Amino acid sequence: MSLVDINGLHKRFGDMHVLKGIDLSVKEGEVTAIVGRSGSGKSTLLRTINGLESFDSGTLEVDGERLSAGRTDLRQLRLKVGMVFQQFNLYPHLTAGKNVMLSPTVVKKTDKREAEAIARDMMAKVGLADRFDYYPDQLSGGQQQRVAIARSLAMSPKVLLCDEITSALDPELVNEVLAVVRKLAEDGMTLIMVTHEMRFAREVGDQLVFMHQGRIHEQGNPRSLFDAPSTPEFANFIGAVS
């Protein structure tokens, strides 16, 4: 049984055909790493899965919630899908803990005390139990991104989408964020992540997807694909000698 099932999905921005028939299945508890050059449609695909973008044809199903092109009732989908972006976008006037409490309180109407308990749990999960009352500008970039992950987890998503979540970080802060993602994967979280961290994709990914010009150009076991790319485009991308 797939948790996420995408069939024949097409997406255009005006004349530009950005997703050209995407078929993708993700099983519960599986980590899918999406790689590819800038402009190949990776972010658009994630945004579509999260209901941030509409699509022109095909179907998208997440945990039994099935969407066809043109449907506008996205509430159920958005409750099932969490997303973390390159930019952390924390509210600067709220503490880390309050940032994490916000969505449960506002979107799910969870009462304050329960929301705080959830937020403390999630802050602990990302290794920041002792930073609950800190403001974003008192935290490093890596810590802020971990708060952003905790904020997504506080909504208990069925699947977490990560779009280049370490790309805006100084190199020495990348590993602490990847360590949190690795832990989530080990705990059984279903993850779909766009990443430039090839080693991480290889080690943690159950499935690798290489996107090229709006299509899934190669797909399969990360280790097999990295060791033996079957297309010149993927070989070029990973810098292999083909």
Contact positions toward Mg ion, by CB under 5 A? 42-43
Figure out which of the listed residues 4, 24, 31, 44 binds ligand ADP, where binding follows CB under 6 A. 44
Q: Which is nearer to Mg ion, 40 or 95 (CB)?
A: 40
| Residue 100 token pair | 């994490």
How far apart are the C-alpha atoms of 112 and 71, rounded to whole Å? 33
Q: Which is nearer to ligand ADP, 41 or 157 (CB)?
A: 41
| Residue 131 token pair | 């930073």
DSSP bridge pairs for 9 = 22
- Cβ contacts of residue 136 below 8 Å, gap of 6+? 88, 90, 91, 92, 96, 99, 144, 147
Least distance (Å) from ligand ADP to the CB of residue 96? 28
Encode burial over 160-178: b for 16+ CB neighbours within 10 A, e otherwise.
Answer: bbbbbbbeebeeebbebbb
Least distance (Å) from ligand ADP to the CB of residue 210? 11
Figure out which of the listed residues 40, 48, 143, 152 binds ligand ADP, where binding follows CB under 6 A. 40
How far apart are the C-alpha atoms of 188 and 193, rounded to whole Å? 15
How far apart are the C-alpha atoms of 85 and 223, rounded to whole Å? 26
Q: Which is nearer to ligand ADP, 40 or 190 (CB)?
A: 40
Asked if 193 and 162 count as a contact pair (C-beta separation under 8 A), the reply is yes
Q: Which does 40 bind (CB under 5 to 8 A by kind): ligand ADP, Mg ion, none?
A: ligand ADP
56 contributes a contact to ligand ADP by CB under 6 A: no
Question: Binding mask 3-22 vs ligand ADP (x if CB under 6 A, - otherwise)?
Answer: ----------x--x-x----
User: Which residue intervals of the chain are DSSP H helices?
Assistant: 42-49, 75-80, 96-106, 112-125, 141-153, 171-186, 198-204, 222-227, 232-237
Figure out which of the listed residues 9, 32, 41, 162 binds ligand ADP, where binding follows CB under 6 A. 41
Figure out which of the listed residues 8, 29, 39, 188 binds ligand ADP, where binding follows CB under 6 A. 39
196 contributes a contact to ligand ADP by CB under 6 A: no
Q: Which does 143 bind (CB under 5 to 8 A by kind): ligand ADP, Mg ion, none?
A: none
Figure out which of the listed residues 43, 48, 95, 110 binds ligand ADP, where binding follows CB under 6 A. 43
Task: List residues near ligand ADP by CB under 6 A.
Answer: 13, 16, 18, 36, 38-44
